[in-house]
Amino acid sequence: MALLGKTYHTFSDEDLMLHVAAKDSKAFAALYDRYSGRVVNYFHRMLWQDEELAQDFMQELFMKIVHKPELYQQGRPFKTWFFSIANNMCKNEYRRREVRKGTANELPEQVMGESGLGIESNVDHTEFRARLNEALEELDEAKRSVFLLRYEQDMSIKEISEALECSEGTVKSRLFYTLKMLNSKLKAFEGIGAMLIIMNWINEWI
């Protein structure tokens, strides 16, 4: 079937991947445009918000698809497969750093230096998010990946379980304890945050 460039955007991820396996460069470009932004930010959050590292990891991940598209198992949802590879790359990086530095989940000093859960005066969503990012950095890799896949990548419990190759119950459990932990971390922010939410609601009603 002859395909026009325009039609690639209507293709499912799985169809695009089949064309990639058939050495269709336009399909590869469409797939890249669809996922590069998402995955580079995933790497960014998973890898200590190191942008260079995230860019490198994103390139490495797509390079795997270039050289070994046959690794994709036909019939499996592309998104979960794709993020499972991304997650495994992060795991490997954690292990590598653990060996090198002798400490797991060590954070870059500048990140820790900037952190601090003190109450700020100009609290808003952006501030909440900044605090959240800091709190996320303190999570272990498993909980952080569940959280990011759930809320940032908007994946379902089932998709996350496939991507992380664990049961749905495990995903739910991790998600719950992550929320609980974040809740405790963000408690200092709670009052102001709650006030902000109430103000938003009031604004919506008005």
x/- mask, another protein, residues 75-94, rule CB under 8 A, reads --------------------
- Counting contacts by CB under 8 A, is residue 180 touching another protein? yes
Question: Looking at beta carbons only, is 12 or 200 nearer to another protein?
Answer: 200
Interface pick for another protein out of 5, 37, 108, 116 (rule CB under 8 A): 37
Q: Does 63 bind another protein (CB under 8 A)?
A: yes
Count the helix, strand and coil residues of the chain and give each as a percent rounded to the nearest 5.
75, 0, 25
Residue type, 179: L
Nearest Cα neighbor of 46 from 92, 1, 114 is 92
DSSP characters for 25-62?
Answer: HHHHHHHHHHHHHHHHHHHHHHTTT-HHHHHHHHHHHH
* DSSP, res 19: H
* Contact positions vs another protein (CB under 8 A): 23, 25, 28-29, 32, 36-37, 40-41, 44, 51, 54-55, 58-59, 62-63, 66-67, 125-126, 128-129, 132, 151-152, 157, 172, 175-176, 179-180, 182-183, 186-187, 190, 193-194, 197, 200
